[in-house]
Chains A and B, each alone.
Chain A
Amino acid sequence: MRFLLRSGVSLGGVIPTRIEELAGALEARNYLAGDDLVVAIHLALQLGRPLFLEGEPGVGKTEVAKVLSDMTGEQLIRLQCYEGLDVGQALYEWDYARQMLEIRLVEARGGDVGSKDIMSRDFLVARPLLQAIEASRNGRRAVLLIDELDRADEEFEAFLLELLSDFQVTIPEIGTISADDPPIVIITSNRTREIHDALKRRCIYHWIDYPDRDTETAIVRRKVPGIDEALAGSLASAMARLRSMNLFKPPGVAETLDWAESLRLLDSGSLTPELIDRTLGVVLKYKDDIEAVREAGVEELVG
């Protein structure tokens, strides 16, 4: 709430205030978002809430943060999550080497070292979360990507819940450091485990699905310049069929783009069964899945 009132004054500028402008700005950056996703992004930007994106791998979750960073002209601050991620890696860490050096220096001059001398901001190394807080001042809002939160453990999630509610940190030796405006936060999850409901409730939630055939064709044509329109279309159709095949790991849009790029390199004008057979490894990454598709017949993917 606090943020809504305050950001109402300082926002504007590079963040589109109208939803149509936002849709245009995303498209201009070659991000073809569905209408619902545009609404979710708009709400997140205007309400100052984190955007929580879930979906199968490779549907363009991380890409949203990159596009928003480009749109706002703010640097993208990225926190890649992993098990055991702790405050020292995510928020801040003391610069021990400098602290030791300082102790030695002061002592060499015959002085006494107090905790105030070596426990100040100068001796602090800012990690992504603190960087984002410190970069969200004076009317600026950093773009913070918290990627693959499902890889972090529950302890980190609990810590993040606290941080996301007020974007301030209290460092016992220094005091409280806070953001003027909430950073633009994008949280992604591949859903390898459930993220706690309390955290998701603080966010604008959106499930990114696989794009429909026409959208995927359009994405391919924008991202892989020079690709034949018909080829882009048959790639999108083939992908839709692959995704309906109950594979262990259905391919995402990222795989579609890799595939399109490969076919362009091979200078192929159309998608033939032989070509699919030879390039299947670009799209499917599990031996079982490749075998399943070959068994069903690669020609099923054409036409």
Chain B
Amino acid sequence: MTTTLGDLTSFARELRDAGLGVTPDQIAHMGQALTLVDPAHEPSVRAAFRSLTITDPGQIETFETVFDAFFHRVAEEDAPVYSPEYTQPKAVKPLFAPAEPAPVGDVDTRTGSSATERLAARDFADMDEDQLAEARRLVTTMFWRPPVTRTRRWIPDGGGQRPDMRRTLRRSVGPGGDLLPIEMRRRRVRQRPLIIIADISGSMERYAELFLVFAHAARQHLGSVEVFTFSTRLTRITDDLDRRDVKSALASVGGTVLDWSGGTKIGDALAAWNRQWSRRLARGGPVALVLSDGWDCGDPELLAREAGRLSRSVHRLIWLNPLAARQDYRPETRGMKAVLPHIDRLLPAASVDDLAGLVSLLDTMAMNSPS
């Protein structure tokens, strides 16, 4: 196996086409690597190039595909040239699924009516299309302030609790004087991440739509927000909600999520979250919001176990149930009974007022006080 610099450049280009960014520096290193391992020994060259170009285990497969295609072709042809007819391997994940018809109608931007107040208290399920549009507008314009936590980093603060020795000493060597002014510092605060997991099964259809508008607003205003949906499978839609415009964001979600209005397996969804995402996203004491009415066709024992695991890996677990808005509501479904011991709060989520209440709860959530 002989490799020229021209080969390396073409190889790098094919890696780039497949979604792996390769810098000129990395190409130079690949060239040097060929002097450090046996260039005729394919497994060594493969391992060397891989360790120099990938930055994530998820890229290994892509790398292997490109490597196989490229070097086997180079080995076959005598004059190694870049062939345009080479079919490019699939990128690890498509950036955006094709936009499908939006799951919600147009977001109406008409100014609020005098009936705003009455509308805010109304159950989403009882609204007509115009009222829904207005509700979406109200949700979009909610004012967000995230719950905060104290970090381990310090910032100067005259009213702080601890002396700042570094600054004190620096100031003390200025113009002389017997008094040593002590500079103070305190812990900095940062916002807690928010994790939103929304049930989009059949029984939740209308609430889920509005809630996703709410989640979009959260993602846009707070940044540190991760959003998932489930009915029979768990889907991460955070990237879709990064689109500025709520309409196109939700259209994008429509393309990503494959199980709209299916059955409900809450336990399986939480299990999937706990295994695939918990270790990566449950850092920094997040607040988790789960939206679901608790109508579950899965195993209640599994649900209880996974809800418990979720609640132990986050700072607060808040369960939002649209049915809880009803006066006579009792959490008596099997699903709700299973999760009840593990959640910090059970809140209604059936109207604009309910969502506004949630926002102000998050807003006032004190740093370390019980919820």
Chain A residues with a Cβ under 8 A of chain B: 1, 4, 19, 35-36, 39-40, 42-43, 46-47, 49, 54, 82-84, 86, 88, 94, 96, 99-100, 103, 112-115, 117-119, 153, 155, 190-194, 197, 200-201, 204-207, 246, 248, 288
**Within 8 Å of chain A (Cβ to Cβ): is B347?**
no
CB distance from A58 to the nearest CB of B (A): 14
Q: Which residue of B lies closest to A119 (CB)?
A: B173
10 A–B contacts, CB within 8 A, in A order: A19-B44, A39-B47, A86-B154, A94-B166, A96-B166, A103-B172, A103-B173, A191-B279, A194-B280, A207-B57
A246 touches B44 (CB 8 A): no
B47 touches A36 (CB 8 A): yes
CB distance from A211 to the nearest CB of B (A): 16
Q: Which residue of B lies closest to A291 (CB)?
A: B305
CB distance from B101 to the nearest CB of A (A): 33
CB distance from B141 to the nearest CB of A (A): 30
**Residues of chain A within 8 A of B56, CB atoms compared:** 194, 200
Given contacts A40-B47, A113-B173, 13 further A-B contacts (CB under 8 A): A39-B47, A43-B37, A47-B36, A49-B29, A84-B151, A96-B166, A96-B168, A192-B279, A193-B280, A197-B21, A201-B25, A205-B52, A206-B51
**Within 8 Å of chain A (Cβ to Cβ): is B92?**
no
B279 touches A86 (CB 8 A): no
CB distance from B361 to the nearest CB of A (A): 26
Q: What is the size, in residues, of chain B's interface with A at 8 Å between Cβ atoms?
A: 44
**Residues of chain A within 8 A of B55, CB atoms compared:** 197, 200-201, 205
Q: Which residue of A lies closest to B48 (CB)?
A: A39
Bound Cα distance from A112 to B48, whole angstroms: 59
Bound Cα distance from A194 to B281, whole angstroms: 10
A193 touches B152 (CB 8 A): no
Bound Cα distance from A84 to B151, whole angstroms: 7
Bound Cα distance from A200 to B52, whole angstroms: 10
B173 touches A114 (CB 8 A): yes
**Residues of chain A within 8 A of B43, CB atoms compared:** 35-36
A248 touches B275 (CB 8 A): yes
**Within 8 Å of chain A (Cβ to Cβ): is B32?**
yes
**Residues of chain B within 8 A of A194, CB atoms compared:** 56, 280
Supposing A201-B23, A288-B305 touch, asked if A115 and B52 sit within 8 A by C-beta, the answer is: no
**Residues of chain B within 8 A of A115, CB atoms compared:** 170, 173
A86 touches B153 (CB 8 A): yes
**Residues of chain A within 8 A of B57, CB atoms compared:** 54, 207
**Residues of chain A within 8 A of B284, CB atoms compared:** 83
CB distance from A177 to the nearest CB of B (A): 18
